[in-house]
Structure 1
Amino acid sequence: MAPLARTSTEAHLFMDLRPCDCGETASSWSSSVIELGDDLGSRYSGTCPSCGTEREFVFRLPDDIVLPVVGQVVYGDGAPSELLDPGEWLWVADRYAGAVPAQAAALDAEGRQEVRSRISAAIAAMDEVLAFVPAGADEVPAESFWSDLGRSVRDEEPGRFARDRLQVIRDTYQRILEEIDSSV
């Protein structure tokens, strides 16, 4: 059964994190809606610009489509992802937040918009990590990590997956976003 892609943003991020065998991560994808038995799915196909390999990803579509909201990054619907594990999501959040300059509020309008976009993506990725913490639990369970990248992020510093610590990071990113918005 094809994995569930809750949004096209999540599907594209998943594909970005799965390079071609030659190592190339860039590709122009064409997409189509397909039938997957009784379900609908999406097929993304493209040609690697480096080696010419044809690539394809197939995902199930959710019963309730999450529509994109202008100015917001939304990867999912609040349930844990089937595509990326919590370590991958934290890695993504780290990359987006790490690309934000320290004095972001002092940037020009175009620079602030870029920062806003990156911080919004980091917040959405942190929400995805938090979705893996079961109700009443204090941390993401070890069995939630299935990818090599996700397990390596967890193994590097397991304490980063404590609910309280994840929430503090997410709230910090939210404050940065509010500072950017208030500097307009």
Structure 2
Amino acid sequence: MITTAGMMDPHDERDGMAFAVARTRDEALLYLELTPCQDCGSNEAPWEHGLTEVDGELTISYAAVCPGCGAEREYLFGLPALETPPGSWPTFGGAEPSELLDAGQWLEVADQAAGNVPADSTEAGRVLAIARAAVEEVIKFVPAGQDAVPVDEFWTSAGRKVRDPEPGRFRLDRLLVVRDTYHELSLTTGAK
């Protein structure tokens, strides 16, 4: 059975597209890593990707056979209106906020990465780069002129679980301090 995901919630009609946009390959792969197999819960899969057309809309398909249970999995994502220019690794997206992961999920990614920094300086720099980039993604959910991520930017139960115990973590001033701290720590590890 093929599980198709990446579909936007019916109540969320951003840009009128049927599929949530994967702004970059890094973002799509992170989404897939955070979306375990519905049959066995495995996060591992040998993903293959390519362009496909669905109802006249060009999409990108990520498909794999789950190594845990053999289930066929497929996720369809919309393509961004503009290509995100390459930047430092990881590149999750451009200036616009994510449609795949909500603000709470991004902060959870940052927390997980920062909580698992290895002793090896090269690898520590890579892990801290992920933490920094994930916090930058949270910041994109703060509207211009506002001081915090709005409540409606937590559209998943996983994201709300991160926000609800400590909503102050989503204030812009705190997010900027955390992002800058991860950046400074990555510099002290010798990462570029």
Same fold flag (TM > 0.5): yes
Match status 1:75 vs 2:84: no
Q: Distance in 2 between matches of 1:73 and 1:19?
A: 21
1:49 match: 67
Paired residue for 2:115, among 87, 98, 101?
Answer: 98
1:35 match: 53
Report SS of the residue matched to 2:61: strand
State the aligned residue count: 174
4+ long deviations beyond 3 Å: 36-39
Report SS of the residue matched to 2:168: helix
**Cα offset for 1:65?**
1.9
Amino acid at match of 2:116: A
Over the matched positions of the two proteins, sequence identity in percent amounts to 45
Paired residue for 2:147, among 138, 143, 147?
Answer: 138
Q: Distance in 1 between matches of 2:57 and 2:80?
A: 9
1:24 match: 42
Q: Deviation per CA, 1:6-33, whole angstroms, max 9, x where unpaired? A: 0011001111111112111111111111
Task: Identify unmatched segments of 5+ residues in structure 1.
Answer: 105-110
Report SS of the residue matched to 2:21: coil
The RMSD of aligned alpha carbons is: 1.7
Q: In proportion to residue count, which structure has more helix?
A: 1
Q: Distance in 2 between matches of 1:23 and 1:36?
A: 27
1:14 match: 31
Instruction: Give the TM-score taking structure 2 as reference length.
Output: 0.85
Contact 1:88 1:150 in 2 (8 A): yes
Match status 1:118 vs 2:127: yes
Task: Identify unmatched segments of 5+ residues in structure 2.
Answer: 1-17
**Cα offset for 1:68?**
4.2
2:158 match: 149
